[in-house]
């Protein structure tokens, strides 16, 4: 048998019409595809989506901070001088945001120097927590106001802005940036509660009917990770307000603390 | 179905493979950036803030 005959046969084979796709084969391939897409969805929800959304939100936050820094600073508020000469500004309290309306940016150096997440009104998943970011409880006080500035955020999924709440250390800065300036709070303590224990949102958390005249910040998220059974609550106390004209507070300009490992 | 797609792609096998990889990347991008964020609220549990 000569070589030319073999190649001729091969050519004939190649031209032979393929077996047509049957209903069964198409159905099988569609089912396989559906299975792969479901697996991809799980990978997105548990892992890839967080990477994407987290990066997107931090980029958005950096752009907003940049824009706020480049716009003309509002007139600084009145201040008092303490005995040791430090200047204490009166906080410029922002108006309560409507549902889904932007209030400010959350900066927590412990969560990384680039951590910069938007704060919006409302705590429904559909309108705020999923697509926008950190949500302010409806009856919450505003930053700088006497009482409790209380927010909710995702611990897992949707960019997980509050993933590392359990990694905060006493004294860590929790900074809220608004067009008027920066509110610095200092982290104090963690608490784990049942989802119906809304006393954590009171003006003085867990103390009904008590007024201390203090300003608190409360960050709530789901606990344990990937569960809705409990809530993790991080409390902080107000330290200072820095008007925009004065530049970022030392809490942001100081060397950042070592970044916390992600909670997994 | 996929065999038909492979036949539809032009060029030698390496060009087919390259076009296929580009297509797969495009599909993954659409899924991760648009489809999954849109579909997720219909699948995952409802409200989480307070009970």
| Residue B49 falls inside a structural domain | no
Sorting pLDDT into bands at 50, 70 and 90, what band is A152? very high
Residues of chain B contacting A125 with CB distance shorter than 8 Å: 41, 46-48
- Flag if A125 and B4 touch (Cβ within 8 Å): no
Count of Cβ atoms closer than 10 Å to residue A159 Cβ: 22
Sorting pLDDT into bands at 50, 70 and 90, what band is A253? very high
- Flag if A29 and B1 touch (Cβ within 8 Å): yes
Q: Decide if A178 contacts A172 (C-beta within 8 A).
A: no
pLDDT of residue A141: 97
Q: Give the range with max mean pLDDT: A2-16, A35-49, A249-263.
A: A35-49
| Residue B51 falls inside a structural domain | no
So what's the ipTM on this one?
0.90
From A169, A134, A145, select the one nearest A94 (Cα to Cα).
Answer: A145
| Residue B46 falls inside a structural domain | no
pLDDT tens digits along A94-139: 999 999 999 999 999 999 999 999 999 999 988 999 999 999 999 9
Residue B34 belongs to domain spanning:
2-38
Domain residue ranges of chain A, discontinuous segments joined by +: 47-253
Alpha helices in chain A (DSSP H): 3-15, 23-43, 49-70, 250-253
pLDDT of residue A235: 98
**Is residue B49 pLDDT above 70, yes or no?**
no
Domains: count for chain B: 1
Count of Cβ atoms closer than 10 Å to residue A168 Cβ: 23
Sorting pLDDT into bands at 50, 70 and 90, what band is A7? low
pLDDT tens digits along A85-104: 889 999 999 999 999 999 99
- Give the C-alpha separation, A207 to A218, whole Å: 14
- Flag if A45 and B51 touch (Cβ within 8 Å): no
Residues of chain B contacting A129 with CB distance shorter than 8 Å: 48-49
Q: Considering only residues B40 and A37, tell me which one the structure prediction assigns the higher pLDDT.
A: A37
CATH class of A47-253: mainly beta
From A181, A152, A179, select the one nearest A240 (Cα to Cα).
Answer: A181
- Give the C-alpha separation, A52 to A203, whole Å: 36
């Amino acid at each position: 048998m000569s070589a030319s005959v073999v190649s001729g046969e091969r050519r004939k084979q190649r031209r032979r019409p393929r077996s047509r796709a049957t209903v069964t084969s198409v159905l099988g391939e569609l089912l396989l595809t559906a299975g792969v897409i479901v697996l991809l969805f799980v990978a997105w929800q548990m892992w890839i989506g967080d990477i994407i959304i987290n990066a997107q939100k931090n980029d958005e936050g950096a752009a907003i901070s940049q824009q706020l820094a480049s716009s003309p600073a509002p007139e600084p508020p009145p201040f008092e001088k303490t005995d040791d000469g430090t200047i204490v500004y009166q906080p410029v309290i922002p108006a309560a945001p409507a549902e889904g309306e932007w209030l400010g940016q959350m900066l927590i150096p412990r969560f990384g120097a680039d951590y910069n997440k938007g704060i919006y009104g409302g705590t429904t998943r559909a309108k705020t927590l999923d697509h926008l970011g950190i949500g302010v409880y409806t009856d919450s006080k505003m930053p700088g106001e006497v009482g409790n500035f209380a927010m909710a955020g995702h611990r897992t999924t949707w960019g997980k802005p509050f993933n590392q709440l359990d990694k905060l250390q006493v004294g860590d800065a929790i900074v809220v940036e608004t067009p008027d300036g920066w509110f610095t709070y200092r982290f104090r303590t963690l608490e784990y509660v049942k989802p119906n224990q809304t006393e954590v949102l009171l003006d003085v958390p867990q103390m009904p009917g008590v007024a201390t005249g203090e300003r608190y910040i409360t960050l709530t998220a789901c606990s344990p990770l990937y569960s809705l059974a409990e809530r993790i609550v991080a409390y902080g106390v107000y330290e200072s307000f820095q008007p925009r004209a004065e530049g970022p507070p030392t809490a942001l300009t100081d060397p950042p603390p070592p970044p916390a490992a992600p909670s997994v | 179905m996929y065999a038909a797609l492979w036949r539809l792609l032009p060029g030698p096998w390496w060009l087919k493979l390259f076009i296929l990889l580009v297509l797969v990347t495009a599909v993954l991008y659409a899924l991760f950036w648009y489809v999954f964020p849109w579909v997720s609220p219909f699948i995952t549990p409802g409200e989480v803030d307070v009970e």
